[in-house]
Amino acid sequence: MESDCSFFIEDQPMTGTGRGEILSPIAVNLKDLHLVLVNPDIHVSTADAYQGSNRSKLKIPFSIF
C-alpha cells in the first residue's frame, strides 16, 4: 500500500508517522472552515516538497513533532 493511501481508510482526522502508514487520531475542529483545492498542473517531487517545509511555523501544535 502506498503510504499516503492510509489517510483515506478512516473517516476522521489523523496524523501520520513513519512513512505515513502509522496513523493516530487527532481532535481538530473544522467548523466554519472551508477547504480549497488548487491543481496548478505542475509536478513537485514529494522529497522536494517535504525538504522545503518548516514545522516550526505550524499554526496548529502537534505533539508528535
pLDDT, mean over the chain: 76
φ/ψ of 25, rounded to 5, equals -65, 145
10/42 Cα distance (integer angstroms) = 29
pLDDT of residue 65: 41
Every domain of the chain and the residues it spans? 1-28
Each residue of 44-61: pLDDT tens digit? 888 888 787 776 666 666
